[in-house]
Structure 1
Amino acid sequence: MTVNTDYHSIKVTIENSVAWVSLNRPHSLNALQEEMMTELLLALKELNRDSTIHVIVLKGEGRGFSSGGDIKAMLTMDSEEQFQGFMDMISELALTLYSMDKITICAIHGAAAGLGFSLALACDYVIAEEGSKIAMNFIGIGLVPDGGGHFLLKERLGAQKAMQVIWKGEVMNGQEAYSLGLIDKITAENKGLEEVGKLVAQLTASPLKAMKESKFILRSTKVKELKAILDLERESQWRMRQTEDHKEGIKAFTEKRKPQFKGE
Structure 2
Amino acid sequence: MEKQYETLKVDVQGNTVWLTFNRPESLNALNLQLMTDLQDALNEIKRDSDLQVLVLRGEGKGFCSGGDIKGMLKMNGEEDFQHFMKVINDLSVTLYTMPKITVSAIHGAAAGLGLSLALSTDVIFAEEQSKLAMNFIGIGLVPDGGGHFFMQERLGTQKALHTIWRGEILNGHEAYSMGLIDKVTAEGRVTEEAEAFVQTINHSPVKAMMESKTILRGSRKAQLEEILEMEKEAQWRMRQTNDHMEGIQAFAEKRKPVFRGN
| 2:213 aligned to which of 207, 212, 215 | 215
In structure 2, what residue type is equivalent to 1:219?
Answer: R
Distance in 2, Cα, partners of 1:43 & 1:6: 9
Distance in 2, Cα, partners of 1:187 & 1:100: 25
Partner of 1:192: 190
Partner of 1:66: 64
Partner of 1:163: 161
In structure 1, what residue type is equivalent to 2:77?
Answer: S
Partner of 2:226: 228
Distance in 1, Cα, partners of 2:55 & 2:13: 11
Partner of 1:263: 261
Partner of 2:103: 105
Partner of 1:55: 53
How far has the Cα of 1:204 moved from its partner? 1.2
How far has the Cα of 1:242 moved from its partner? 0.4
Distance in 2, Cα, partners of 1:6 & 1:131: 32
Partner of 2:7: 9
In structure 2, what residue type is equivalent to 1:81?
Answer: E
How far has the Cα of 1:23 moved from its partner? 0.3
CA-based RMSD of the aligned residues comes to 0.7
Partner of 1:36: 34
Distance in 2, Cα, partners of 1:96 & 1:159: 24
In structure 2, what residue type is equivalent to 1:228?
Answer: E
Q: Does 1:182 align with 2:176?
A: no
How far has the Cα of 1:78 moved from its partner? 2.3
Asked whether the equivalents of residues 134 and 177 of structure 1 are also in contact (C-alpha less than 8 Å), the reply is yes
In structure 2, what residue type is equivalent to 1:256?
Answer: K
| 1:244 aligned to which of 237, 242, 245 | 242
Identity %: 59
| 1:128 aligned to which of 123, 126, 144 | 126
Question: Which secondary structure state, in structure 2, belongs to the residue aligned with residue 253 of structure 1?
Answer: helix
Partner of 2:16: 18
In structure 2, what residue type is equivalent to 1:173?
Answer: N
Q: For this pair of structures, how many residues does the alignment match?
A: 262
Question: Which secondary structure state, in structure 1, belongs to the residue aligned with residue 57 of structure 2?
Answer: strand
> Which residues of structure 2 form unaligned runs of 5+?
none
Cα deviations by residue, 1:84-117 (Å, 9 ceiling, x for unpaired)? 1000000000000000000000000000000000
How far has the Cα of 1:7 moved from its partner? 0.4
How far has the Cα of 1:5 moved from its partner? 5.1
Question: Which secondary structure state, in structure 1, belongs to the residue aligned with residue 79 of structure 2?
Answer: helix
Distance in 1, Cα, partners of 2:183 & 2:42: 24
In structure 1, what residue type is equivalent to 2:53?
Answer: V
Cα deviations by residue, 1:199-255 (Å, 9 ceiling, x for unpaired)? 010011100000000000001010000000000000000100000000000000000
Cα deviations by residue, 1:153-194 (Å, 9 ceiling, x for unpaired)? 000011111000000000010000001000000000001101
Asked whether the equivalents of residues 12 and 20 of structure 1 are also in contact (C-alpha less than 8 Å), the reply is yes
Distance in 2, Cα, partners of 1:151 & 1:28: 27
Question: Which secondary structure state, in structure 2, belongs to the residue aligned with residue 134 of structure 1?
Answer: strand
